[in-house]
Chain A
Amino acid sequence: MWPMSSSKIFSAAEACRSIADGATVLVGGFGQPGTPNRLLRQLLAQGTKQLTLVKNDASEPGLGISILIEAGRVAKLIASHVGLNPLAVALMHEGRLAIEVYPQGILAEKIRAGGAGLGGILTDIGLHLDTDRPAQLVEVAGARYKIEPALRGDVALIHAARADTMGNLVFTKTAGNFNPAMAMAADLVIVETGEIVPAGAIDPDHVHLPGAFVDRLVLVEKSAADYGVLKHHALQA
C-alpha cells in the first residue's frame, strides 16, 4: 500500500558514512532554524575533514557548522554573512579558513541554478565591486549583468519539519530558508526531520519539496539544546 515505505530511512551514522574527506557539503539553515544539527554532529563524530561547506552563515560558536569549523575540519566556507561567529572570522584573518561571501539571494540563486541543471545566473547585484573573483560581464537587452556560475554540492544536509516515507518534505516558519534550494543541488541529499509519516499522510498540495530530490531520511530527537530557544537571543523577562 505504501510503496518504498522504509527504503529511504537511515540512522544518522548510516546516512553520513559515505561523505568523504574533501567533500563539498551544502548545509541548510539561517542561524539555527533549519540547521541540520544532528547530521553535523555526526560529521564531527566520524572525523570527516577538509570540507568545503556552503551555508548562509557561519552559525554561532558551539552551534551548527561552527562545531566543524572549531575542530579544524573546514577548509573553506561559502556564505553570505559570518558576523555572528567571531571564531570563524578570527580563523579567516589567521589564514586558516578560506571564506567566500556572496549576497544572500545571489548565493541562493547560484544553488538553485545548480539544482535546476543550469550553468549559472545573470545578475546586476554588486556590479560596482572589485573582488578577487573577476566577473564575466554580458549585455542583455541593453543592460549589463555579471555571470554567476551555478553552485552544486556533493552532499546536501537538510532539516525539514516533517517528511513522509517517500521523502516529500514540509518546512516550517523561518526554518525553510536555504533548505529547499540546497535539497535540489547535490548528488546525495540527506534530510533530518523530527517526524516521518506514512506516504499519503501529507496532502500532496502541501508538500514544499517533492521526495524526488531526497535520498536519505534520518529521524532526529529534537530535545537537544541546539534545537531549543537560545537564551541570548530572547527578550529578558
Chain B
Amino acid sequence: MHYKHRIAWRAAREIKAGQIINLGIGIPTLIMDYLPDRQQVFVHSENGIWGMGPRAAAGREDPDLIDAGAAYATIVPGAAFFDTLTSFAIIRGGRIDLAFLGALQVAQNGDLANWIIPGQMTPGIGGGMELAQKSRKVIVLTTHVTKTGAPKIVKSCSLPLTAPACVAMIITDRAVIEVTDAGLCLKELAEGVSVADVVAATEAPLLVPEGELPRF
C-alpha cells in the first residue's frame, strides 16, 4: 500500500459513526476510500456540501459539483447544499466533529502551521484556519519529515501558525502520535519502523510507553 493510502486507511479508523467530518486537501481526501460505512458518516465540504460522496466516476462529472480541492464530487442520500456563509457557520459554530488536515509543521503543544512558507509558498488561508480553530477534534495527516528530510514534528513551529494548540493526534507514514498535556505520546508504529527511527526523525521529545507498540 502506498504510504499516503496507509495514512488515510489508519486515519479512517478514528472516525466514529454519526460524526460530521471535514477532509482537508491532500492526503485527507484519500480517507473517502476507507470510510467504513458511508451512511453513518457525513462529510462536510466547505464549498457547500453536507453529505459528500466519493469522487465522480469518469464521464459522470457535474460541472456544478466539486469538492474543496476542485475535483468533481458526488453526494450521498440526505445531503444538503448551501452557501459559504452557512458552510462556515457549520465550521465556526462547532458542528464539525473531526477535521483531518495536512501540515507543514506541528509543535509538541499541538500548534499547527500549514498555510504559508513566507517568500516561497503563498496559497492563502482558505478554510483551514477556521477548521483548525473550531473543529471539535483535529487530526493531522502528514509525512513524518519534509522532502529534504527535516522533521515536521517540532518543539516550536518556525512557520506562521494556522491555529495554536489545536491538534489532538498526528498520523504519519511512520507513527501515530497523540498530543497530550504531558507532551507528544507515541502510540503506534508503521510496519517496519522502529521506535528509534521515529525518535530520530522527530525534533520534539516523545513519550514512549513501555512494551510493544501496536503496528499499522
Contact = CB atoms under 8 A, between A and B. Distances in A.
Say whether A associates with B.
yes
B149 interface: no
A4 interface: no
A180 interface: yes
B193 interface: no
B81 A235 contact: no
Given A92-B122, A234-B56, A236-B58, A31 B72 contact: no
Contacts of B143: none
Interface of A: 30-34, 56-57, 60, 79-84, 89, 92-93, 99, 101-106, 108-109, 112, 124-126, 128-130, 161, 171-181, 208, 227-230, 233-237
Nearest to B165: A128
Contact of B63 (A171, A179, A181, A227): A227
Main secondary structure of the interface of A (DSSP, over half): loop
A234 B200 CA distance: 40
Contacts of B196: none
19 contacts: A31-B47, A31-B70, A82-B122, A82-B123, A92-B122, A101-B124, A103-B126, A103-B128, A104-B46, A104-B88, A105-B46, A173-B81, A174-B48, A174-B49, A174-B65, A176-B48, A228-B63, A230-B70, A234-B58
B170 to A, nearest CB: 20
Interface of B: 45-49, 55-59, 61-66, 68, 70-73, 81-85, 87-89, 91-92, 122-130, 133-134, 160-161, 163-164
Contacts of B89: 105
Given A108-B85, A181-B84, A235 B57 contact: yes
A111 to B, nearest CB: 9
Rank and list the top 9 A-B pairs by shortest CB-CB distance, nearest first: A105-B88, A83-B123, A237-B58, A81-B126, A81-B124, A173-B64, A108-B84, A101-B124, A175-B64
B63 A32 contact: yes
A237 B59 contact: yes
Main secondary structure of the interface of B (DSSP, over half): loop
Nearest to B87: A105
B65 A104 contact: no
Contact of A180 (B55, B85, B124): B85
Given A30-B47, A173-B65, A236-B58, 16 more contacts: A34-B64, A80-B125, A89-B122, A92-B122, A103-B129, A104-B127, A104-B130, A105-B87, A125-B129, A172-B64, A176-B83, A230-B63, A233-B70, A233-B71, A234-B56, A235-B58
Nearest to B90: A105
A234 B72 CA distance: 6
